Structure 1
Amino acid sequence: MRQLVWLCIVAFTATPALAGPPFLTDDPEPVAYRHYEFYTFSTLDHSTGSYGIQLPAFEFNFGAAPNLQLHVVAPIALSVLDPEPASYGIGDIELGGKYRFFKEKGRRPQVGIFPVIELPSGNSRRNLGNGQVWARLPLWVQKTWGAWTTNGGAGYTVNHAPGMRDHIFGGWQIQRKVNKKLTLGAEWYTAGRDTNVARAPQLINAGGFYNFNENFSLLFTAGHSVHGDSHTVAYLGLYWTWGPAKDAEKSKPARPTHSSADFVLP
């Protein structure tokens, strides 16, 4: 049982917070060319006898070319595993690139990939990191109808660290723009069976974002597992975006675009 809990807490703290701030499911929409995004945020993943917390964590995205986004996440992690002392320090750093193959047109959704690698900057002996480089290789799609947007997809995680295993993950989300400032949404997400002792959790997560203005937003979600290992997850963050107005996509709303970190499970 002790080995089971230890492997689970490593899984919880091995990665940055989420797949698509503030949601777990990502989308294929990159940052507009020559535009920038910055997030500062905190996440929670609570399971029986353990907490995985990121406080603070930072994300930066850059529109390096049309349809191409470069991405980095750097978290400070807190690991609490009863009855051991809590550990606090830098977590694993994430690097990635999102590329959109098809823009949305007529009935056709937009489609893109977002491969990322996780660098073992967190101390795995203190339950702050995975201990080895690992990667996620997802495909995402998105379609919009008026005030409604839906996106989803799936991918494959390659993780050969001790006690971890390769696995499939995926999710689907729907959200509605309530007004110019508020968007709300909900999703189903599964992180996959990431260790030999885990039961793949499936979660229902809900939240949204509030736009104070077109460049500054508050992001929030909370959710709980409905199948598999028990997890309670939450996200709270602030988001800024900037760049030349003439390069922005006219159809793109003033809202955060999604990044690619899983929630606290790889």
Structure 2
Amino acid sequence: MKRLFGPRALACGASLSVFCLSCVFGQQRPLVTESAETVAEHHLRIELGAEILRDAVFPLSGLAGDLTRFGVFGLRFGIGPAAEIQVQGVAQDYLSIEDRLPAPHSSLLDVSGNSTTDFGDLVLGAKVRFVQERENRPAIAFRFAVELPNASNESGLGNDETNAYGGFLVSKTIGRAKVAGNLGVAILGDPLDAASQDDLFTFGLSGVYAASPRLNLVAEAYGRTGPGGIGTEEQTRLRAGLQTKAGGFYWDAGVFAGFRTTDPSWGLVFGVSREFRFD
């Protein structure tokens, strides 16, 4: 089901053109790689979007098809001058089933038609910046997050495992550009062995270039690598797109490309963000 050209090639080309650049206004979407900067104290940033992903594969359940994610949301609240708490998730995942493959948990499926839906897993996290950016040094932060098993085995979209993530974040402004890098570890519950876990390294490198006061060009490569198994596979993914400010909102749109056999092959992402101050 993988495609070698077309939308994937477009994403690669867009990425290479802005790979080492980053943003002027502080917006996270549509990037996954986290900046070391935090939301301002007493500020709440609300993010909402959708994703359309082609050729998604769920090796644990054996389901494969096109995945649409409605209500991809994020809440970020600044609890101090250099700390924020985060809540992220997906209101509804919808998989249009194109194939059913032999898989360890296929017998657990409660899916009778050609589609399945479920809530996405909820992620609770916190970010603390302990080095502030200066002219001659980058900002450095640490992020920790826990992923809860909201998506179920029965829908074929989850694995009923709780996962933990921790990593260091670095970001630096260079003129009209900003580069961010992430390096950490993912501790993933093994869905095939209740007494086991899979530990993988996580990585991300992003850039956003301020093309104008209201327009940023963005790109990133991110994923995880290590001895993953079924349900905890390695990932190598890329996003490229834009951010713009209009009407008091931050709007974003981009393309997605996956390079592992278990990654979606390509897709589209879009959304909106807004920040509020609470005194």
- After TM superposition, the score normalised by the length of structure 1 is 0.76
Give 3-state SS (helix, strand or coil) of 1:82's partner: strand
- Would you say 1:175 and 2:204 are equivalent positions? no
Contact 1:200–1:228, Cα closer than 8 Å, also in 2:
no
Q: Distance in 2 between matches of 1:118 and 1:223?
A: 22
Q: Per-residue CA shift, 1:12-38, capped at 9, x if unaligned?
A: xxxxxxxx5201221111110000111
Residue identity matched to 1:220: A
Identify the range of structure 1 (100-109 vs 42-51) with the bigger mean alpha-carbon deviation.
Answer: 42-51
Contact 1:168–1:193, Cα closer than 8 Å, also in 2:
yes
Specify every segment of 5 or more residues in structure 2 that has no aligned partner in the other structure, as ranges. Answer: 1-27, 57-63, 101-113
Question: How far has the Cα of 1:179 moved from its partner?
Answer: 0.8
Identify the range of structure 1 (139-148 vs 49-58) with the bigger mean alpha-carbon deviation.
Answer: 49-58
Q: Which residue of 2 aligns with 1:27?
A: 35
Give 3-state SS (helix, strand or coil) of 2:189's partner: coil
Contact 2:66–2:98, Cα closer than 8 Å, also in 1:
no
- Would you say 1:60 and 2:75 are equivalent positions? yes
Question: How far has the Cα of 1:64 moved from its partner?
Answer: 1.1
Q: 1:51 to 1:191 in 2, by over 3 A?
A: farther
- The 5-angstrom pairing of residues 155-234 of structure 1 reads 155-163=184-192, 165-192=198-225, 195-196=228-229, 200-213=234-247, 215-226=248-259, 229=262, 231-234=265-268
Give 3-state SS (helix, strand or coil) of 1:166's partner: strand
- The 5-angstrom pairing of residues 121-160 of structure 1 reads 121-160=150-189
Q: Distance in 2 between matches of 1:110 and 1:224?
A: 29
Q: Which residue of 2 aligns with 1:262?
A: none
Q: Distance in 1 between matches of 2:134 and 2:160?
A: 43
- What do you get for the CA RMSD once the two structures are aligned? 2.3
Give 3-state SS (helix, strand or coil) of 2:34's partner: coil
Largest Rg, 1 or 2: 2
- Would you say 1:114 and 2:147 are equivalent positions? no
Contact 1:92–1:130, Cα closer than 8 Å, also in 2:
no
Residue identity matched to 2:135: G
Question: How far has the Cα of 1:67 moved from its partner?
Answer: 0.7
State, as a whole percentage, how many aligned pairs show the same letter. 21
Give 3-state SS (helix, strand or coil) of 1:54's partner: strand
Q: Which residue of 1 aligns with 2:44?
A: 36
Residue identity matched to 2:245: N
Q: 1:225 to 1:120 in 2, by over 3 A?
A: closer
Residue identity matched to 2:271: G
Give 3-state SS (helix, strand or coil) of 2:154's partner: helix
Residue identity matched to 2:167: P
Question: How far has the Cα of 1:63 moved from its partner?
Answer: 0.6
More strand by share: 2
Question: How far has the Cα of 1:207 moved from its partner?
Answer: 0.8
Give 3-state SS (helix, strand or coil) of 1:29's partner: coil
Q: Distance in 2 between matches of 1:207 and 1:222?
A: 6
Q: Which residue of 2 aligns with 1:241?
A: 275
Contact 2:256–2:269, Cα closer than 8 Å, also in 1:
no
Q: Distance in 2 between matches of 1:194 and 1:86?
A: 31
Question: How far has the Cα of 1:194 moved from its partner?
Answer: 7.4
Question: How far has the Cα of 1:44 moved from its partner?
Answer: 3.1
Q: Per-residue CA shift, 1:204-261, capped at 9, x if unaligned?
A: 3211211004x411112213235665532432111111116xx9xxxxxxxxxxxxxx
- The 5-angstrom pairing of residues 9-28 of structure 1 reads 20-28=28-36
Contact 1:32–1:63, Cα closer than 8 Å, also in 2:
yes
